[in-house]
Amino acid sequence: MTAGDIAARLDRLPATRTIWSMVLLLSVGSFFEFYELVSTAYVMPGLIQSGVFSATTQSLFGMTGAASYIAATLVGIFLGVLLLGPATDRMGRRAVFTFALLGYSAATAILAFQSDAYALSFWRLVVGIFLGVEIITIDTYLSEIVPPRIRGRAFAVLRTCSWVAAPVVALIAYLLVPTQVLGFDGWRWVFWIGACGAFLIWFLRRNLPESPRWLASRGRLDEAHAVLSEIEAKVEKDLGAALPKPLPAALPKSSKVDRLPGIWGRPYRARTVMLLVCQIGMGIALYGFTYWMPTFLVEHGISLTKSLEYSLIISCMYPLGPFVAVFFADRVERKWQLLFVGSMLIVGGLFFIDMRSMVPLIIAGSAVSLAIAVVPMVVHTYQNELYPTRHRAFATSVVVAVGRLGGAISGFLIAAALRYAGVTGALTVICGAMAVSMLAVVLFGPQTRGRSLEELNNE
């Protein structure tokens, strides 16, 4: 029994109820990850109105402005994926995503009790650290557990469930942020609701198995065989027939558990540089629009209540993007998917600049939201295909960390652009960043659709 045998047995599994049940459990958990991520946009108008934060500050890096809170989230994610993300290559996928889930739930509950800008930003930083680890680990685990022929659809389902959080948190914020409940500001309840839901997901996920690919990559072949045998038995029962025989699988050329040399050696050096550029641009564009959209609406002269109302309507488009992607995720090459949805974001963003009335604003914002939901789905599927199991989590941690750092900087860039050039300047920054991101992949990225992870990493 070799690591190649384990990989071949996984890749030949039919996509039965057992496989999709694991995908769904991961996806439901991802809902609360995104709930935490996108909640920033919808509680921010309330935080500004309550006087905890201001929309802009005199200095670029003012710590009492909205940008500092946004930056705290993304710097936390940067630290989490860069410093703790590699732990998933050493400790295992399942152990790390369980620890991270409980960590960000507890930190969010504590955050909701804070009333000072510095304390809120600190606890948001802690939440971001755990969120970063969770996101990296779930993506890595999913890429390793599903067969290559449904990998794109699996990520599309994951992101569909993730983005359902956007309209849900928008609705909760619309109902609660302008009010007080039991003497507490409504924005606090937005956080408490998310924290309670995440604890529930920990209970539902407790029986998910460890990744057989990861176990095999660490030389724990007997454990990998035992875990995979249980999965195979369930799949065979679902199928009601014998499983197909596995095809021979290619092994990575090296079995060394290296780190930095691994992602900078051939062919990974070019892939890493390409993904770094992609992630920075994507971080600026996606977080720039997602976190600032309600504020953009207020800057257009729309009231706080109407801003949240429009944001709620626009946010309903988020889950629709990945849902539609289920039907083409494994039919179209990843880089061409990114070219299409990235172009949609740019066009929608440029139209959003000049819109003032409700219907055109909602149409333009909806186009951007559709694209924002699909872009990270494509990129996260893609980047997990480009590295071998032995350092997949470390490699994706590096590129995602840099991307989130770009997202953190975006808060200050957007705030400065908003101050000196209005919504036009802010959206120009967002659209330009998206153009750079998608062109990096289109021009320099390899094709991956339908290929096994071992084949892609034995070139």
Q: Which residue has the tokens 């409940």?
A: 181
**Cβ-contact 96, 90 below 8 angstroms:** no
3-class secondary structure, 54: strand
Query: What pLDDT, on the 0 to 100 scale, is given for residue 459?
Result: 42
CA distances from 342 to 166, 369, 450 (A): 20, 11, 22
Closest CA to 160 of 374, 378, 379: 374
Query: What pLDDT, on the 0 to 100 scale, is given for residue 170?
Result: 81
Tokens of 75: 């710097």
Question: DSSP state, 184?
Answer: E
pLDDT averages per 10-residue partition of the chain, 459 residues = 84 90 88 81 74 56 65 81 77 83 87 83 88 85 90 90 84 80 81 82 81 89 92 91 75 47 75 92 84 73 71 80 88 92 89 76 85 88 86 82 76 82 86 92 89 73
**Cβ-contact 167, 319 below 8 angstroms:** yes
Query: What pLDDT, on the 0 to 100 scale, is given for residue 5?
Result: 84
Query: What pLDDT, on the 0 to 100 scale, is given for residue 259?
Result: 47
**Cβ-contact 18, 266 below 8 angstroms:** no
Query: What pLDDT, on the 0 to 100 scale, is given for residue 258?
Result: 45
Taken in order of first residue, the domains within the chain and their CATH numbers are 3-242+257-456 (1.20.1250.20)
Separation of alpha carbons 265 and 54, rounded Å: 46
Query: What pLDDT, on the 0 to 100 scale, is given for residue 254?
Result: 47
Query: What pLDDT, on the 0 to 100 scale, is given for residue 441?
Result: 94
